[in-house]
Amino acid sequence: MRDINRRLVLHLIRKRHPISRADLARVSGLQRSTISLIVEQLIEERWVLEGPTGRLPRGRRPTFLRLDEGRIIIGVDVRPIRTTVALADAHGRFLSQDVMNTPGDPEAGIAALIASIQRMMSASKGRTIEGVGISLPGRFDHAQNRLVFAPNLNWRDLDIRTPIAQATGLDVELENAANACVLAAVWFDPSPAVRNLVVVTVSEGIGTGVLANGQLVSGLNGMAGEFGHVPIDPQGPPCGCGGRGCWEVFASNRAALRYYREASGQSSSDFIELLNSADGGDEHATQALNLMASYLGQGMRMIVAGLAPERIMIVGDLTRSWQRFGPVIEAQVQAQTLPGGCPPDVVPVHEDGMARLRGTVALILQKHFGTGVEVPD
Ligand SMILES: [Zn+2]
């Protein structure tokens, strides 16, 4: 209960700052004394600052509250090709960014991350760095403290946390990229909160993050959400996971590039280029993307049937061409809705790098404020 109230008060200050204690009590429905207690604690912990003093009619002068912007978080988005390290405040606003190529070698990768984090630390003197949140294209086993399943990244079965925590002295939290996007939606999405949400990230592979009944689903060893590795054709092409014909082999960016290569005899290694070629009227590119869209829609049907989410958020470069992908995916989702069911909203997330990074900020915030969805609007 304490966590829930603290989280509620923090969210309200974040969303409505500057806000007075009286207004916090009115909006949250909590007792004035409870609000005072929580606010004093947040001020003491330096999450919240007092001031300025407001002016109201009849001479009352309430003290407004706002987030302490000197409290900052380092977010890291590791992707198979590029890695971004960013500095953010507790509003999830980014103050600076450092982008690098992801080293294929895990040791070199961790060394590069440490160097970049240390640069951010020395550029942030005078501010409190609360921790490092890391989003990964794999599953993180929180019990074993290891990256256990990352078929599109060579850094497997690896302890990433300990060397970074030791070198920087900071608290380090890791999470799968799709789960990070779920957390970003829970903490920072301006649209009304939902308790049943699936985020589907589509890039080199396909990942899903599942929020069910207001809780992020992790499953045994953190492995829940691997819809991308459910085979939809056991005779299909081999997959990075060791299986064949997985959903991601048919519906990822890589799949579209393969369709294009097979149809045109030309190779293209860049998905954005493929989107541009299709927009420019290239028939092979159009066919390749249409095939990818159709497979994406087919896979969505198992998500709708299995989880009955209120909202599905799609993250990835394909959202740049939503007029092509959106109608196909929405039609399949509608077609899967069973009698008595209600189709979920399908929402493209247009700034995918930001969603992952915001999720890493939420990862650190939820260490202090707990998990769960009871976010006021
Ligand atoms: Zn697979």
Distance between the two ends of the chain, CA-based, in angstroms?
Answer: 19
Listed in sequence order, the DSSP H helices in the chain are 2-16, 21-28, 32-44, 106-122, 161-168, 177-188, 247-251, 253-264, 271-279, 283-307, 322-336, 352-369
Rg (CA), the chain: 22
Query: Residue 239 Cα, ligand 1 centroid: separation in angstroms?
Result: 5
> What are φ and ψ of residue 161, in 5° steps?
-65, -50
355 C-alpha vs ligand 1 centroid, how far in Å? Answer: 24
Ligand 1 ion: Cβ-proximal residues, 5 Å cutoff: 229, 239, 241, 243, 246
| 148 C-alpha to ligand 1 centroid (Å) | 14
**Ligand 1: distance of its center to the CA of 135 in Å?**
20
173 and 364 Cβ atoms separated by less than 8 Å: yes
Q: d(Cα 302, Cα 318) in Å, to the nearest integer? A: 20
How far does residue 225's CA lie from ligand 1's centre (Å)? 12
List the one residue out of 365, 352, 363 whose CA is nearest residue 14: 365
What is the 230 CA–ligand 1 centroid distance (Å)? 7
Give 244 Cα–ligand 1 centroid separation in angstroms: 6
Ligand 1 centroid to residue 199 C-alpha, Å: 18
Q: Say how many Å lie between the CA of residue 298 and the centre of ligand 1.
A: 16
Our measurement of the distance from residue 317's CA atom to the centroid of its chain's CA atoms, rounded to an integer in Å, reads 15
Distance 207 CA to ligand 1 centre (A): 11
CA of 70 to the centre of ligand 1 (A): 43
Q: What is the pLDDT along the chain (377 residues), one digit of tens a residue?
A: 677 888 888 888 888 888 899 999 998 889 999 999 999 999 998 889 887 766 666 666 778 898 888 889 999 999 988 999 999 998 888 999 999 999 989 999 999 999 999 999 999 888 889 999 999 988 888 888 888 888 788 887 788 999 999 999 999 999 999 999 999 998 888 777 789 999 999 998 999 999 999 889 988 888 899 999 999 999 999 998 899 999 999 999 999 999 999 999 988 879 999 999 999 999 999 999 999 999 999 999 999 999 999 999 999 999 999 999 999 999 999 988 888 888 899 999 987 678 999 999 999 998 888 776 655 54
Element spanning 89, H or E: strand 82-89
For the question of whether the overall pTM of this predicted structure is more than 0.85, the answer is yes
Query: 308 alpha carbon to ligand 1 midpoint, in Å?
Result: 23
- Please give the distance, rounded to the nearest whole angstrom, from the Cα atom of residue 243 to the centre of ligand 1: 5
| Distance of CA 150 from the midpoint of ligand 1 (Å) | 10
SS3 219: coil
Distance 270 CA to ligand 1 centre (A): 21
Q: Cα of 267 to ligand 1 centre, how many Å?
A: 23
Taking the centre of ligand 1 as the mean of its atom positions, its distance from the CA of residue 238, in whole angstroms, is 8
For residue 216, report the distance from its CA to the centre of ligand 1, in Å. Answer: 22
